[in-house]
Amino acid sequence: MIMPSMTTARGTASTGGKIRVLIVDDSVVVRHLLREALQSDPSIEIVGAEANGVAALARIPIVKPDLVTLDIEMPQMDGIETLKHIRKDYPRLRTVMFSTLTTRGAAATLEALSLGADDYVAKAANGCKIDESLASLRSEMLPKIRQFFAMPRSSPPPQPVSPHLPAARRAMAAKPRVLAVGVSTGGPNALAELVPMLPRNFPIPVLIVQHMPATFTQLLAQRLDANSYLEVKEAADGMEVIPGRVILARGDHHLQIRSGGGRVTAVLDQGPHENSCRPAVDVLFRSVAKMYGAGVLSVVLTGMGSDGRRGTEAVKAARGYSIVQDEATSVVWGMPGAVATAGLADQILSLDGIGREILRLAE
């Protein structure tokens, strides 16, 4: 079963206020591309580039990186074995896996996440031009690295916006009819803890958006299904939304629902990205709010960015109920924090507390 990551708190950069990054990849070309892409950001310092896990482990105590980018397939010691050593010897060292979009790469990435990797980036497809590869790395890898670090500022920062804490636990306006969950960075581990908490007789359907490519969501659904009481399926167009079934949005497809012929079914589409995401949590939340109204129980878990905030506005406008994960148990408190600071959360709970509260509300 996937276990939670060992690192959750947002760190600060090391020497000189820069994020010290060690690149580990067996390809000379990839090492060069990563170095060029990452050093374009003035907040990042490349402290080394190694070709395999053995060399990387020897280098870590010397250069003292804040984060390691780790290829999965390497000679002598692959990324999975290297990650195991890193988690044992350097539990607070951030790791971002660098994997292919193949089924084999997706399976290895999920294994890495279960072992405590903080995030991953999928490699550009073979045949991409150099400038396309660089652009892809800058847009994908740089935000994944920056999300874990609070960078010092040259001028005083603006006053932080505190989350609007609910004065008291508010009762749901209606019995929940659907559970809608949005999650991103740290999601596979969070879902691996939350979904198995739901019993066989769980009385409402569950719809989940996890930001992941298509190959990854299929394997994630299979993993969750193997370790849960409920049936977990990757979404398919026309799939019936019923109690006892967990539907995970397919990568690169928005997930919505529709009613017809006495049934509620899933609808997949490849409409425009929202919040740079497809699937997007906002799309799902708007759809369930329109159909179930006050019967929506929405949950926003750990994740980078703000996807889910506008969708939660729709849930609240329909008198639905909103729970978000707290900062202490989130890998990144971006998505749940956006909902909380907007004053849209009815409850802010630990991951374990969310599971217990779902069961209480649905009983």
Burial letters 328-340, b for 16+ CB under 10 A, else e = ebbbbbbbbbbbb
Q: Catalytic residue at 211?
A: yes
Task: Determine which one of 282, 307, 326, 346 is catalytic.
Answer: 307
Q: Catalytic residue at 85?
A: no
Output the six-digit token pair for 267. 């609808």
Calculate Rg over the CA atoms of the chain.
Answer: 20
To the nearest 10 degrees (0 to 180), the angle between helices 79-89 and 103-114 is 10
The 10 Å Cβ neighbour count of residue 114 is 17
Q: Catalytic residue at 307?
A: yes
Task: Determine which one of 99, 136, 184, 228 is catalytic.
Answer: 184
Q: How far apart are CA 212 and CA 145, in angstroms?
A: 17
The 10 Å Cβ neighbour count of residue 40 is 12
Distance between start and end Cα atoms, the chain:
26
What count of residues does the chain have?
A: 363
Q: Which residues form the catalytic set? A: 184, 211, 307
